[in-house]
């Protein structure tokens, strides 16, 4: 990218500067410490072309919308269309959540993102003993298609795309969504959205797994295969790094382990007999955005370049769409503090900037009361406005990849890409992602980073505003959103009625059919759709699978 003579001149010039101008300042006052990025990548005082001298513009950067996509997956990014503003939301009953959805859409949100309460995510109905105390707490209580109908009341599924954070039971909730679309008269090929459908990360760090790895991968691929045929605009998986980062991983680890999971999913689909270009274009991703803006931007760029090259070289993808790292971002929940919550608005603003400068396709911004409760309406409005302000007022969207060419950002991009490569090689040597997870390699790496971070906070080596520096006495926060235990009681009553009123013969037939299909190699989706239409509940369907597949008890790694 730079010619030899120029580089020589710069080398000499930098040395002169270091030994003269800089040295004079340093002799008066040494630097505060050895600086690093948030994720411990060592950072120098100054970056120049010397630090990226081996780069080749065409090979390493190229043009947005073209391989290797470093600068962006779309040719003109936000000049054509902003990212989808998609706030993850859900709490209490389907009705309350539907109200929040309609509010957010009225305030300018451009896509929906469904939060299901933990029982749904874990495959239990609201009246299961293990659901006690959990109903409606961190998401909407959705047990059956009736709840789903209420959830999407007055929401046109041909005009709104929906992302559903659901993993092990993803087939069930997708089946419900498809049925609702059918009721609204929307053909499947017009439906757009995403299901998370990523159980590997559940095993690594999120805990919402149900069945053992092999059968759960079968369900994952069944869903991908089904969508590929019948719901072509649907992103059938959202391979997630967000939670990996929340669990303590560094930026490079977040990207590396997500890509490792991606490799496992691509592998599984190929083993099913699906040609790579037939499904890879609909793989999507989900990442985090922390407060070190420049590191995050570098991370996203490194991830795009690495994925593109990997898909081409390892899996021989030919369709450009197969090589694009398209992703949703959520700002880092774990970075927000309970102390001085208004400070979180600033953090989220910086993280939004990072996500946008990094080139995301979709974004959720956290609310400032994140560390206290599920977002209040007031807080979620500020979060949405943050996106809108960055979009309209910050200048970050007027050109593509504005930080491209920054010596520091290109240096960091290269550095993170190299770290990603190291991790992938390591994981390959262990026998692949599934083996690495089974041996606890990924979990331990994450835990060690988490530990290192905590030690720095405890020792104050790392400043955290409001937590270990600039601490204040504060009055307790009021007006928090709390979900009543009544929601659980009402749902349990409702479920009793639901089960009594449905056509018992039809229901039994559907579940029996599901059981039989699950024992074979057949794609389960049609049977799931039938079961859902027969008014079977999430818990009942998952219980059939618990019977057929067993329950997973992973080895927990604690270092």
CA gap 446, 205 in Å, rounded: 9
Positions 246 through 275 that interact with another protein (CB under 8 A): 246-248
Site string for another protein, 364-383 (x = CB under 8 A): -------xxxx---------
User: Residue 291, interface with another protein (CB under 8 A)?
Assistant: no
x/- letters, 308..337, toward another protein (CB under 8 A): --------------------------x--x
Q: Which two tokens stand for residue 289?
A: 């955005």
Give the whole-angstrom CA distance, residue 448 versus residue 238: 26
Q: Which residues 175-214 are close enough to bind another protein by CB under 8 A? A: 202, 205-208, 212
Instruction: Decide if residue 478 touches another protein (CB under 8 A).
Output: yes
# of chain residues touching another protein (CB under 8 A) = 54
Are the CB atoms for 372 and 480 separated by under 8 Å?
yes
Q: In angstroms, what is the C-alpha Rg of the chain?
A: 24
Kindly state the smallest distance separating residue 256's Cβ from another protein, in Å.
18
Torsional class of 359: left (φ above 0), alpha (ψ -120 to 50), beta (otherwise): left
Tell the smallest beta-carbon distance from residue 347 to another protein (Å).
13
CB atoms within 10 A of CB 474: 11
Task: CB nearer to another protein: give 212 or 232.
Answer: 212
CA 316 to each of CA 228, 276, 302, 310: distance values in angstroms, whole numbers, following the listed order:
19, 8, 20, 9
CA distance 315 to 269: 11
Is position 458 an interface residue for another protein (rule: CB under 8 A)?
Answer: yes
Q: Give the shortest CB-214-to-another protein separation in angstroms.
A: 10
Give which of 169, 173, 323, 332 is closest to 248, Cα–Cα. Answer: 332
Among 398, 480, 496, 522, binds another protein (CB under 8 A): 480
Rule CB under 8 A: say whether 141 interacts with another protein.
no
Closest CA to 83 of 74, 91, 70: 74
Identify which of residues 258 and 414 has a Cβ nearer to another protein in the complex.
258
What are 465's strand-pairing partners? 469
Which of these ranges, 50-58, 231-239, 383-391, 482-490, lies near another protein under the rule CB under 8 A? 482-490
Contact pick of 74, 278, 319, 439 for another protein (by CB under 8 A):
439
- Binding another protein (rule: CB under 8 A), the pick from 55, 179, 338, 396 is 338
Region of residue 62 (phi > 0: left; psi between -120 and 50: alpha; otherwise: beta): left
Rule CB under 8 A: is residue 553 a binding residue for another protein? yes
| Site membership for another protein, residue 22 (CB under 8 A) | no
- Segment interacting with another protein, rule: CB under 8 A, options 175-183, 262-270, 284-292, 471-479: 471-479
Q: Contact between 464 and another protein (CB under 8 A)?
A: yes
Cα separations in angstroms, 88 against 120, 224, 321, 370, 481: 16, 23, 26, 12, 15
SS (H, E, C) 66-86: CCCCCCCCCCCHHHCCCCEEC
Q: How far is the CB of 446 from another protein (least distance, A)?
A: 8
Smallest distance, Å, CB 125 to another protein? Answer: 13
Helix axes 407-430, 293-313, angle to 10 degrees: 50
Contact call for residue 130 and another protein (CB under 8 A) = yes
412 binds another protein (CB under 8 A): no
Residue 492 in contact with another protein, rule: CB under 8 A? no
Structural contact between residues 491 and 483, judged by C-beta atoms closer than 8 angstroms: no
Q: Does 131 bind another protein (CB under 8 A)?
A: yes
What is the Cβ-side half-sphere exposure of residue 309, based on CA atoms within 13 angstroms?
Answer: 15
C-alpha angle 122/125/129, rounded to 5°? 90
Identity of the residue, 81 or 482, whose beta carbon is nearer to another protein in the bound complex? 482
473 contacts another protein (rule: CB under 8 A):
no
Nearest approach in angstroms of CB 208 to another protein is 6
Q: Which residues bind another protein (CB under 8 A)?
A: 118-119, 121-122, 124, 129-134, 137-138, 202, 205-208, 212, 246-248, 334, 337-339, 371-374, 439-440, 447, 450-451, 454, 457-458, 464, 466-468, 476-478, 480, 482-483, 485, 553, 555-556, 558-559
């Amino acid at each position: 990218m730079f010619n030899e003579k120029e580089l020589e001149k710069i080398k000499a010039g930098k040395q002169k500067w270091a030994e003269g101008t800089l040295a004079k300042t340093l002799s008066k006052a040494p630097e505060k410490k050895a600086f690093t990025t948030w994720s411990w990548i060592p950072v120098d005082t100054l970056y120049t072309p010397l630090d990226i001298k081996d780069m080749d513009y065409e090979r390493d950067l190229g043009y947005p919308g073209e391989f290797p996509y470093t600068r962006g997956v779309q040719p003109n990014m936000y000049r054509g269309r902003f990212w989808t503003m998609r706030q993850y939301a859900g709490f209490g009953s389907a009705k309350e959540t539907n109200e929040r959805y309609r509010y957010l859409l009225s305030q300018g949100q451009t896509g929906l993102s469904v939060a299901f309460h933990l029982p749904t995510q874990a495959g239990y109905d609201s009246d299961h003993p293990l659901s006690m105390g959990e109903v409606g707490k961190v998401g909407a209580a959705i047990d059956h298609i009736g709840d789903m109908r209420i959830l999407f009341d007055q929401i046109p599924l041909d005009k709104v795309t929906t992302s559903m954070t659901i993993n092990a039971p993803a087939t069930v909730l997708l089946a419900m969504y498809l049925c609702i679309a059918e009721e609204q008269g929307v053909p499947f090929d017009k439906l757009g959205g995403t299901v998370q459908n990523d159980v590997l990360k559940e095993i690594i760090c999120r805990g919402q797994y149900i069945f053992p790895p092999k059968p759960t991968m079968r369900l994952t691929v069944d869903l991908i295969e089904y969508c590929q045929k019948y719901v072509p605009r649907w992103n059938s998986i959202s391979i997630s790094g967000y939670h990996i980062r929340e669990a303590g991983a560094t930026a490079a680890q977040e990207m590396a382990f997500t890509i490792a999971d991606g490799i496992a999913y691509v592998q599984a689909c190929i083993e099913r007999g699906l040609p790579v270009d037939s499904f890879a274009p609909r793989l999507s991703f989900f990442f985090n955005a922390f407060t070190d803006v420049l590191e995050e931007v570098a991370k996203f760029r490194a991830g795009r370049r690495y994925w593109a090259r990997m898909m081409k070289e390892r899996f021989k993808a030919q369709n450009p769409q197969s090589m694009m790292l398209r992703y949703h971002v959520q700002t880092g929940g774990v970075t927000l503090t309970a102390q001085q919550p208004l400070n979180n608005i600033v953090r989220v603003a910086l993280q939004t900037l990072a996500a946008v400068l990094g080139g995301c396709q979709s974004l959720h911004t956290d609310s400032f009361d994140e560390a206290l409760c599920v977002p209040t309406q007031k807080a979620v409005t500020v979060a949405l406005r943050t996106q809108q302000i960055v979009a309209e007022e910050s200048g970050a969207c007027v050109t593509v990849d504005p930080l491209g060419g920054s010596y520091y950002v290109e240096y960091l991009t290269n550095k993170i890409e190299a770290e990603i490569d190291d991790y992938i090689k390591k994981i390959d040597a262990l026998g692949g992602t599934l083996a690495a997870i089974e041996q606890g390699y990924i979990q331990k790496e994450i835990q060690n980073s988490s530990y290192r971070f905590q030690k720095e906070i405890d020792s104050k080596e790392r400043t955290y505003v409001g937590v270990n520096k600039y601490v204040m006495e504060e009055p307790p926060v009021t007006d928090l959103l709390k979900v009543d235990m009544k929601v659980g009681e009402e749902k349990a009553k409702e479920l009793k009625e639901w089960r009594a009123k449905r056509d018992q013969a039809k229901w039994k037939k559907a579940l029996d059919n599901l059981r039989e299909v699950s024992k074979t190699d057949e794609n389960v989706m049609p049977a799931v759709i039938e079961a859902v239409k027969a008014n079977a509940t999430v818990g009942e369907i998952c219980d059939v699978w618990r019977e057929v597949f067993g329950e997973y008890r992973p080895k927990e790694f604690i270092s």
